Structure 1
Amino acid sequence: MKEGRHRLILQELDRAGLVSVRKLKELLDVTDMTIRRDLIDLEKQGFLIRVHGGAHKKVRDGLIEVSHAEKVMLNTEEKQMIARKCADLISDGDTIFIGSGTTTALIGDYLEDKKVNIVTNSLPIFEKLKDNPNFDLLLVGGRYRLKTQTFVGQFAINLLREIKVSKVFIGANGIDGHNVTTANEEEGNADAIILNNAIEKYIVADNSKFDSYSFYTFYRLDDVDGIVTDDRISQRMRDKYRSYTKVL
């Protein structure tokens, strides 16, 4: 019975990439507690990552890129926690760059009454913040990448080379040792340029991104001021990555 449930859960994960406890309960006709125990077992075996209300498929090599719309559903509590920490690092009057991502997209929610100059190449972030009178916004244009709803390419790079910011917040698909990785080299190249043009550099990543890697390495942890992460990162992982930079 247990093995059969595990097989069906993994089949559903392969099909959808993301499963909810409620849907699995209906599919398998068992209790919430049974599903949660199954997800714990499968997470221990390395097949998935549990999130609030369900689980998503664990992709250690990062070759399968999850879309912006799909990422919105993942690790929501951790993302809010990280966004608050990022907002605490921002001062009134700062000029900042916010990179694309569903975690970085929440930073503006916690800036309260701070007046901030914000540069971004993310269309969702621009759309979310454009009507706030406290923010002076600059959207970096270029070739539109639908998967992440981000502007990339040579036009974006040319503009980013000319921009200087006090602080930058960049997401990552995976952090493996000192390597900061992403699923797309064009996004990575743009992120690297603005990181080099910032006074303070922060990588934004929830606990599931550590000891994981994606397709393209675009920066080194040794060269950033800190990783902003959630409080659910293990002490072992925190200690390991403190050898490269601050873990906030």
Structure 2
Amino acid sequence: MLAAQRQALILEQIRRTGGVRVTELVESLDVSDMTVRRDLDALAGRGAVRKVHGGAVAAEGARTEEPGFEAKSTRQENEKHAIARAVADLVEPHSAVGLSAGTTTATVARYLTYVPGLTVVTNSLRVAEVFYQSARPDQTVALTGGFRTPSDALVGPVALTAVRGLNLDVLVLGVHGMQVRAGFTTPNLMEAETDQALVDASASLVVAADHTKWGTVGMSTIAPLDRCDVLVTDAGIDEEARTTLSEHVGRLVVADVHREET
């Protein structure tokens, strides 16, 4: 197979799933590790992909680009489950918990259904659906209402009115990107405003973000890195990023993805 053909297949897989691992490509393309890395270097050089530890992800698009929930739900699935499990371990029974919108927080919600006595406030239709299907009688869920975004977040004045004045023990925040200068970001202005209100209402902030979010910058900042009490990510985050994040967030937790893969 010619290099151009391999690179076209790699690019198609990244566009379909959001990211690839070098080990997966070695097996599926039946080529060496070095060949795959050269192909990824070539694609990255053209700006078609962004290299990350162990593989590559789709190149950062416009800062206002907002993929839909379904498009994001199949990306980094093992990482999201590992992160969600670690986040759920941080949440105390009988606490008041805020959950923002996103595919990672929707995964977190699945694990939080096992934590007794929670009162959950969310602006996410998907998160609310998880708790609705669980139907635990000892858990209470409040959905903010508002206008719906492509990520199935509810935003706008109705959502803001519902959130402001609340006092939450902890907020689990999903983000589009994180960077030292920009902090935690989203491409949606109205979603940023709702998330900021949730941050202000919470005594503690837990950010759930897989390694592909590092270095990505959305148009709107939700909060600076140093506002985060605990950042939960996965082992795909590189050492330089770990060092930088450890200097800015209260605590960095790296979830064990291997447990989910096996």
Q: Per the shorter chain, which TM-score range?
A: 0.7 to 0.9
2:31 to 10, 34, 44: 34
Among candidates 201, 205, 218, match of residue 205 of structure 2: 201
Task: Give the match for residue 174 of structure 2.
Answer: 171
Distance in 2 of aligned mates of 1:2 and 1:106: 39
Matched, 1:149 2:152: yes
Residue 103 of structure 1: SS of its match in structure 2?
helix
Which residue of 1 is the match for residue 126 of structure 2? 124
What percentage of aligned pairs have identical amino acids? Answer: 23
Relative to 1, partners in 2 of residues 1:70 and 1:40: Cα closer, same or farther, differing over 3 Å? farther
Aligned equivalents of 1:229, 1:164: Cα separation in 2: 26
1:77 corresponding residue in structure 2: 78
Which residue does the alignment assign to 1:135? 139
| TM-score, normalised relative to structure 2 | 0.80
Contact 2:178 / 2:184 at 8 angstroms: preserved in 1?
Answer: yes
Residues 19 and 233 of structure 1: is their aligned pair in 2 closer, same or farther, counting only changes over 3 Å?
closer
Q: Deviations over 1:17-67 (max 9, x none)?
A: 75889xxx9xxxx9543398765444445343689xx97522165443221
1:61–1:213 contact (8 Å) kept in structure 2: no
Once residues 241 and 75 of structure 1 are traced to their aligned partners in structure 2, the CA distance between those partners, rounded to angstroms, is 20
Gaps of 5+ in 2: 254-262
Deviation per CA, 1:173-214, whole angstroms, max 9, x where unpaired? 111114111010100110011101101012221011112211
Q: Which residues of structure 1 form unaligned runs of 5+?
A: none
CA 1:218/1:33 → structure 2, altered by over 3 Å: closer, same or farther?
Answer: same
User: Which residue identity is paired with 2:173?
Assistant: I
8 Å Cα contact 1:62/1:173 also seen in 2: no
1:8 is matched with which residue?
Answer: 8
Q: In 1, Cα distance between the equivalents of 2:75 and 2:34?
A: 19
Counterparts of 2:192 and 2:241 in 1: how far apart (Å)? 24
Task: Figure out how many residues of one structure are paired with residues of the other and give that number.
Answer: 239
Distance 1:191 1:11 in 2: 33
Q: For the aligned residues, what is the CA RMSD?
A: 2.9
Displacement of 1:10 after TM fit? 6.4
